[in-house]
């Protein structure tokens, strides 16, 4: 469906953003539901985010996704934040309304949907080890704490950044502590999550002993089998890549904008086709 004067527009703000999977995912969803909408890449260099956000209503955009490196600054610039966006100090979805911009974070419910629906994992009374201290790690930790996990260990190279993860999940009853990367090998956990870029070039994390009962989730989706996933499968453990989270957070963004349930099968097929063609980034 070609864009017309009546076409509703959304997009993804990032830098760089040319290899994003999001346009293919969302445009496939719009086509599947025969919606007169279009999703475009919006490359915004550092230092220009405030101007870009101010331009969204003026250009008639219904909303936007936000990706690296603008998630944290978006939370600083947008006054109307959801509870999750406020806790994480990170926005990945913007809704443009009559009153201006509203900032949301769909990574948290997206990770919960992925864990329960795709991986069959209920976090209640379970333990987790999360590698990383950035926005993705904070979102995963918050989803786990809200989902009833009793213990969350955050492994990070920078202890001060790990403190940000701990503060993001305060108030949910989970025991949350930070350790250095090297100390992660001694952590026993039902779930291990990699929320770092390590593994993209073949690096292996300092893993604890994995068992067939361990669930492993690597938020990377390239390479298709990361060193962490291979290590899990070598001991008979279940292992998932990051495409599931990408799709579920995209579906939640779609629902915020359109008010319609997202056509997950069409979105998944589009993502897989783009990956087969060599696309590299979310």
Alpha carbons 144 and 140: distance in angstroms, whole number: 6
pLDDT at 282 (0 to 100): 47
Q: Identify the active-site residue in 26, 70, 71, 113.
A: 71
pLDDT bucket at 272, cuts 50 / 70 / 90: very high
Indicate the average pLDDT of the chain: 94
Residues 173, 175, 178: CA angle, nearest 5 degrees = 140
Helix (H, G, I), strand (E, B) or coil at 196: coil
Predicted TM-score of the model (pTM): 0.93
d(CA 37, CA 10): 8
- Is residue 71 annotated as a catalytic residue, yes or no? yes
Is residue 279 pLDDT above 70, yes or no? no
Q: For position 1, what pLDDT does the model report?
A: 45
HEC letters along 50-93: HHHHHHHHHCCEEEEEECCCCHHHHHHHCCEECHHHHHHCCCCE
Residue 268 contacts by C-beta under 8 Å, 6 or more apart in sequence? 243, 247
pLDDT digits (tens, 9 = 90+) for 244-262: 999 999 999 999 999 999 9
3-state secondary structure 13-45: EECCCCCECHHHHHHHHHHHCCCCEEEEEEECC
Of the two residues 149 and 160, the one the predictor is more confident about is: 149
Q: Convert the pLDDT of each residue in 112-155 to its tens digit.
A: 999 999 999 999 999 999 999 988 999 999 999 999 999 999 99
Q: Which helix (H) or strand (E) holds 192?
A: strand 191-194
What pLDDT score does 262 carry?
98
- Which run of H or E residues covers position 139? helix 135-146
pLDDT of residue 6: 86
Residue 47, pLDDT above cutoff 70: yes
State the helix-helix crossing angle for 264-276 and 243-258, rounded to 10 degrees: 130
Q: How confident is the model at residue 158 (pLDDT cuts 50, 70, 90)?
A: confident
- In this predicted model, what pLDDT tens digit does every residue of 162-204 receive, in sequence order? 888 888 998 999 999 999 999 999 999 999 999 999 999 999 9
3-class DSSP state of 245: helix
Number of helices and strands in the chain (H, E): 10, 12
Over residues 215-242, the mean pLDDT reads 95
Q: Which domains does the chain have, with CATH numbers?
A: 8-105+244-276 (3.40.50.10860), 108-241 (3.40.50.720)
């Amino acid at each position: 469906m070609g864009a017309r004067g009546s076409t509703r527009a959304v997009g993804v703000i990032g830098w760089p953003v040319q290899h994003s999977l999001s346009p293919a995912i969302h445009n496939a969803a719009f086509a599947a539901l025969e919606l007169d909408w279009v999703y475009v890449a919006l490359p915004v260099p550092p230092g220009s985010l405030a101007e870009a956000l101010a331009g969204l209503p003026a250009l008639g955009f219904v909303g936007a996704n936000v990706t690296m490196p603008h998630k944290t600054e978006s939370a600083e610039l947008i006054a109307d934040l959801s509870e999750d966006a406020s806790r994480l100090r990170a926005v990945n979805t913007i809704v443009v309304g009559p009153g201006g911009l509203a900032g949301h974070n769909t990574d948290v419910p997206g990770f919960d949907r992925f864990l329960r629906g795709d991986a069959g994992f209920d976090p209640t009374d379970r333990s987790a080890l999360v590698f990383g201290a950035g926005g993705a790690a904070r979102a995963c930790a918050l989803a786990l704490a809200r989902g009833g996990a009793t213990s969350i260990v955050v492994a990070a190279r920078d202890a001060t950044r790990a403190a940000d993860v701990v503060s993001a999940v305060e108030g949910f009853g989970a025991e949350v502590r930070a350790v250095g990367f090297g100390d992660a090998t001694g952590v026993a956990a039902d779930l291990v999550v990699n929320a770092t870029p390590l593994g993209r070039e073949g690096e292996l994390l300092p893993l604890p002993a994995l068992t067939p009962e361990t669930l492993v989730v690597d938020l990377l989706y390239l390479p298709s089998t990361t060193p962490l996933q291979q290590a899990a499968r070598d001991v008979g453990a279940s292992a998932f890549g990051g495409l599931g989270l990408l799709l579920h957070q995209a579906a939640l963004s779609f629902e915020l904008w359109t008010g319609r349930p997202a056509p997950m099968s069409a979105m998944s097929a589009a993502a897989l086709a783009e990956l087969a063609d060599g696309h590299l980034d979310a």
